[in-house]
Structure 1
Amino acid sequence: MAAAVGLVATTSPAAARDTTTLIQGVTGVVDTAAAGGRVFVSANDRIVVADADGTLTGSITGLASPSGLAVTPDGTRVYAALSGSNEIAEIDAAALAVVRRINLAGYPSPANLSLDGDQLWVGYGIKNDFVGGVLGLDLSLAAPTPVPVATRMYGAPLVAGAGNTVFTAEAGINPASPRVYDVSTIPATLRGVIDGADNDLSNLTDLTITPDGAQAISVFATSGFDVWDTTTLTKVRSYGSRADYPGAPGAIALSPNGAHVATAFYGSSYGPYAEVYNAATGAKTLQAQMTYKGDLVTGSLSVLGDDLYALLNDWPNNRYYLWRVEGAFLPTSTLSVSATTAATALDPFTMTGRLAFPDDSAPGAQPIEIARTLPNGTTTTLPGVTTAQDGTFTVTDTPPVGGGVSYTAIWDGNSAVRWSKTTTTVDVAQHPTSLIVTGPTTANAKKSLRLTGQMSTAGNVPTPASGSIVVYRVYTNSNGSVGADRPLVPLAADGSFTITDTPQVGGKYTYHVRFDGDATYAYAYTSWDVAVRGPSA
């Protein structure tokens, strides 16, 4: 049974969770790169910089159409492919300033980058012209000379290089056949081609390579996330199943230690998804969805610590967002909340919940944030709760209205366990009401008749501060019955009301009295009969 720790004030937990940050002042975004506690975003004419929380902190301007990005592992240097000026820009990340420009005259529209130590691999080319290819730059040289690796490719190919291996493939050609090059010598040697037709490889969106160059991973919409041995050119495995993906595969990135494979999907109309797999076993360890803020920008996924970052394009509103998936590589906690008593508007009721860690260890005292959302969409943050040693907690609330009221519990996680949340919807009944009418049971026609009434509520709950009583009068005599609505009768602050009428002829008068209820109070009904004598002389 859950420990009743009750509604106790707690310090608000630090902001965590998965977030989106609007990138203002740009008309397009292309890629991300992350290291050294910062995230870099290539936009239409600049590189935007954000901290690890996704907060925008600065930018590098005056750049001609930056596209692909690469960053050194320590985050001190950022490299940007400037497709508008046929250059590679080297940027001092601390000063946010360009410190070197490498001219790529003769290699049009550099677009995609892969950094391996001092070696920068560049995919260049103009779509449809078949003048694209891959070249290498030795960044340790004061004036690096481009060294061609692959030529006569469609557009600017995607490229990933590590060790003695370069893996490259062409987007826009279907099927596409990835190539593997041995770059231990100059010129590079084509190690082989993976047949795109035989392996159903169409609609390329991204690729990457392991740090030792032994395996490469391609991302095709038709086949998913496929791992290739770069020596034998055979498929080692696929991460996930194309039939089970939450959307179309769109991007991939590896965790710094190589233990995890992060993936991103275009998702459905409800928004993009991210999934994480154990690199060794292929087991899925996380699936996260972002409420719709736009479509995933192809190939824009990057990793910083345990967090993922990608770009979203809200094309109907011409807005762009940086999406952060917080703690994606951490073990995931779970939260549960359920009502333990019936819920009625204006009456307190209880819910119990539990925070559980993946290793079943006791969470100890942890702050839980609780938010209540009413049927009209209004959300209120309730006083926080703190878990007992075993992770259980109790929430008490007094819902102001009836209907489906949702309660969302959030734990913000820590450095070892990913945050979690849960939402439960409680069917809250309207608060019961009752009506009493008193007055004479006989009266004379054409004389004023006065009935008094009282609306009451169950428990120590006030009556509605405003409202009206509906009166429907039915007159019956030997010829039958005739009904008619009477004017609405206002409720006084104490729930009392007065009904006045002047019957014109004798007969039986039944006054049907009702309160039609509202979001908080339930329907109530009563009636009162009066025998009216004919007009007196």
Structure 2
Amino acid sequence: MRPLSPERVIAVRPLVTRLTRRLLAFGGALTVAATLVVAQAPQASAADSTTYLNGATVGGDVAAGAGKVFVAANDRIIVANAGGELTGAITGLSGVVGLAMTPDGTRLYSALSGSMQVAEIDTADLSIIRRIDLAGFPCPSNLALSGDRLWVGYGCRFTWGGGILGLDLTATAPQPIAVGNNTSSAPLVAAAGDTLLAGDPDIMPADLMVYDVSATPATLRGVIAGLPSLGDLAATPDGSMAITVVGGGKQYDVWDTTSLTKARSYGADPAMGATRAVAVSPDGVHLAGGRSGDPRLTLYDTATGTRTYTNDDPVGELVPGSLTFSGTDVYGVLKERNSNGRLHLWRLHGATLPASTLTLTPPPTPATVLQPLSMTGRLTLSDESAPGAQSLMVIRRVPYRADETLPGVTTAADGTFTVTDTPPFAGDISYDVVWDGGPDARWSRASVTVPVEFIQSSLTLSGPGEGIAGQELQFSGTFEIGDQPAPPGSWLWVDRIVHIPGGTAAITLPGVTTASDGSFSFTDTPADAGQYTYIVRADESVVSSATEARHNVTVTNGDSPLL
């Protein structure tokens, strides 16, 4: 046998297993799959959301109402809708720190530490109605609104000379009236009824000042002294109770603002993260507490202290002072725990509502691509009753592909439902069913992952058993997917292996495509005598398995025997 010519030898090596190519192996299969995929824009869902506040690293105070959410971000106020989707910004501001909103959501007040002002903003058109001058009261930072009076904690950090002032918002040009002074930084403030609370966040130990503001000037009712530090502050709607967050604390302490004694604590749990933020719902029924670890948010029933809701988002830590209620939702701002310190708006939809439960059961047997599958489930309320006919969203999730919103389903009177789908791809496909909730129940989601099997494909390959070096060999075969011919134009790889002493010489020949009946053919002219193996391969596709067919040919040098 003549030696193989170097220019014709691609590689001499033991045959190795090739990595499976997960790219689409044939155009026809893509056509089949594409006819079954109808890309739809995801519908707006009332589920929780976390929204990156692009470019924001400073600020984080939040106010919400009348279908809008506002986040302080130093040189602007970022605006989002109630679903947490960003809609715009209020610019032209200097050093935005604290925010406060009227109960009806029509007016927003912003502390502008850079220009020593308070801006009054119309929340409908986002226009600045007026700027209230606070000259002589540097670094206004923290706000608390109670009735027609706005309380401002002012003072640049670690410079002393800070304090509290009050503004009568009914006046055409409100004049600042000082309440307390000589704090090291801008005091935290909270107000409700006839009570004003204030405390310096940058001294240890800290004192909580309790003022009676039923008349002007305000009078000091008393001091709750010796707190380890003060990280956040809230008041019940009637002003009878103050809730404090202290650095490193594991609970939320509640203080009687008349007797100045501790009334109770919420969430005392040494296994949980340190407390960071606190807020009380406008009706006084719920207390929202933020922590430094899982769960980052917990709701408590203020009457019983019962934990009613928990949630977590590890994107960052809650910014102190950033928790607020709006309707049945809770909003907060998360700050990433890295040098970037980027801010995210966190929406917890229906957090104050009783829970609902969705279940979803996968098919009893593995599904097959391009064949229908069915899943069943049920929607129940917290008392295990059914809410009647309810619309559910169905989302299909395929790795490395965009999510698909499928046609929704409606529950029966008993809460049961059935989801059907024809999976266009093989592999692990996840399905989410989402209920957006109702006026008396929180939204819920159920998810399952369904293993979807490939359609088995097959190849045949035929050709001569013997040949002569230098003469053309002809081969043919068929490619089928399931029991059907592969779509015309399906791509097939062709390899040729020559077996020689000590190893093999392998080369990839020009590939071929199938005809309309799944058939294919190709030719090859071996230059040297030897034992040849021809391999035709179809790669794994989105619908079919990989497969191959082999055919052996003995090639001689004319009348000379093969050595």
Q: Is the 8 A contact 1:116 1:162 kept in 2?
A: yes
| Residue of structure 2 aligned with 1:524, choices 544, 547, 550 | 547
1:305 paired to 2:335: no
Relative to structure 1, the CA distance from residue 181 to residue 308 in structure 2 (aligned partners, 3 Å threshold; closer, same or farther) is same
Q: Is the 8 A contact 1:262 1:274 kept in 2?
A: yes
Q: Which amino acid aligns with 2:146?
A: D
Relative to structure 1, the CA distance from residue 491 to residue 249 in structure 2 (aligned partners, 3 Å threshold; closer, same or farther) is farther
What is the correspondence of 1:52-71 to structure 2 with a 5 Å cutoff? 52-54=82-84, 63-71=93-101
1:254 paired to 2:277: no
- Structure 1: which 5+ runs fail to align? 1-6
For residue 407 of structure 1, report the CA deviation from its aligned partner: 2.2
Relative to structure 1, the CA distance from residue 148 to residue 504 in structure 2 (aligned partners, 3 Å threshold; closer, same or farther) is closer
Relative to structure 1, the CA distance from residue 159 to residue 456 in structure 2 (aligned partners, 3 Å threshold; closer, same or farther) is same
What residue number does 1:3 align with? none
Tell me the SS of whatever aligns to 1:243.
coil
Separation in 2, partners of 1:472, 1:177: 85
| Residue of structure 2 aligned with 1:217, choices 243, 247, 252 | 243
Tell me the SS of whatever aligns to 2:271.
helix
For residue 342 of structure 1, report the CA deviation from its aligned partner: 0.6
Q: Which amino acid aligns with 2:222?
A: R
> Aligned-residue CA RMSD in angstroms?
4.0
Relative to structure 1, the CA distance from residue 190 to residue 512 in structure 2 (aligned partners, 3 Å threshold; closer, same or farther) is same
Tell me the SS of whatever aligns to 1:389.
coil
Q: Which amino acid aligns with 2:375?
A: M
For residue 128 of structure 1, report the CA deviation from its aligned partner: 0.7
For residue 503 of structure 1, report the CA deviation from its aligned partner: 5.1
Relative to structure 1, the CA distance from residue 426 to residue 175 in structure 2 (aligned partners, 3 Å threshold; closer, same or farther) is farther
| Residue of structure 1 aligned with 2:102, choices 60, 72, 76 | 72
Q: Is the 8 A contact 1:14 1:412 kept in 2?
A: no
1:189 paired to 2:203: no
What is the correspondence of 1:171-186 to structure 2 with a 5 Å cutoff? 171-174=201-204, 176-183=206-213
Separation in 2, partners of 1:459, 1:390: 42
What residue number does 2:458 align with? 434
Relative to structure 1, the CA distance from residue 149 to residue 408 in structure 2 (aligned partners, 3 Å threshold; closer, same or farther) is same
Q: Which amino acid aligns with 1:331?
A: P
Identity %, equivalent residues: 44
Q: Which amino acid aligns with 1:75?
A: G
Separation in 2, partners of 1:461, 1:357: 51
Separation in 1, partners of 2:489, 2:505: 30
| Residue of structure 1 aligned with 2:141, choices 95, 98, 111 | 111
Q: Is the 8 A contact 2:49 2:346 kept in 1?
A: yes
| Residue of structure 2 aligned with 1:370, choices 380, 386, 394 | 394
- Structure 2: which 5+ runs fail to align? 1-36
Q: Which amino acid aligns with 2:369?
A: A
Separation in 2, partners of 1:536, 1:60: 91
What residue number does 1:361 align with? 385
Q: Which amino acid aligns with 1:192?
A: V
Q: Is the 8 A contact 2:77 2:90 kept in 1?
A: yes
What residue number does 2:265 align with? 237
Q: Which amino acid aligns with 2:242?
A: A
Separation in 1, partners of 2:122, 2:508: 81
1:484 paired to 2:506: yes
Q: Which amino acid aligns with 1:384?
A: G
Separation in 2, partners of 1:91, 1:480: 84
What residue number does 1:86 align with? 116
Q: Which amino acid aligns with 2:360?
A: V
Q: Which amino acid aligns with 2:158?
A: N
| Residue of structure 2 aligned with 1:394, choices 418, 426, 440 | 418
Tell me the SS of whatever aligns to 2:368.
coil
Q: Is the 8 A contact 1:182 1:191 kept in 2?
A: no
For residue 305 of structure 1, report the CA deviation from its aligned partner: 1.1
Relative to structure 1, the CA distance from residue 344 to residue 266 in structure 2 (aligned partners, 3 Å threshold; closer, same or farther) is farther
What is the correspondence of 1:308-387 to structure 2 with a 5 Å cutoff? 308-311=330-333, 322-340=345-363, 341-387=365-411
Q: Is the 8 A contact 1:371 1:408 kept in 2?
A: yes
Relative to structure 1, the CA distance from residue 440 to residue 56 in structure 2 (aligned partners, 3 Å threshold; closer, same or farther) is closer
| Residue of structure 2 aligned with 1:206, choices 215, 219, 232 | 232
Q: Which amino acid aligns with 1:227?
A: D
For residue 127 of structure 1, report the CA deviation from its aligned partner: 0.6
| Residue of structure 2 aligned with 1:425, choices 424, 449, 474 | 449
Q: Which amino acid aligns with 1:159?
A: V
| Residue of structure 1 aligned with 2:472, choices 433, 448, 471 | 448
Q: Which amino acid aligns with 1:237?
A: S
Aligned residues: 516
For residue 58 of structure 1, report the CA deviation from its aligned partner: 7.5
For residue 306 of structure 1, report the CA deviation from its aligned partner: 1.1
For residue 209 of structure 1, report the CA deviation from its aligned partner: 0.8
Separation in 2, partners of 1:205, 1:113: 15
| Residue of structure 2 aligned with 1:279, choices 296, 299, 302 | 302
CA deviation digits over 1:403-448, x for unaligned, max 9? Answer: 3323222222222222222333333333321222223444455543
Relative to structure 1, the CA distance from residue 162 to residue 523 in structure 2 (aligned partners, 3 Å threshold; closer, same or farther) is same
Tell me the SS of whatever aligns to 1:244.
coil
Higher RCO, 1 vs 2 (CA within 8 Å, ≥6 residues apart): 2
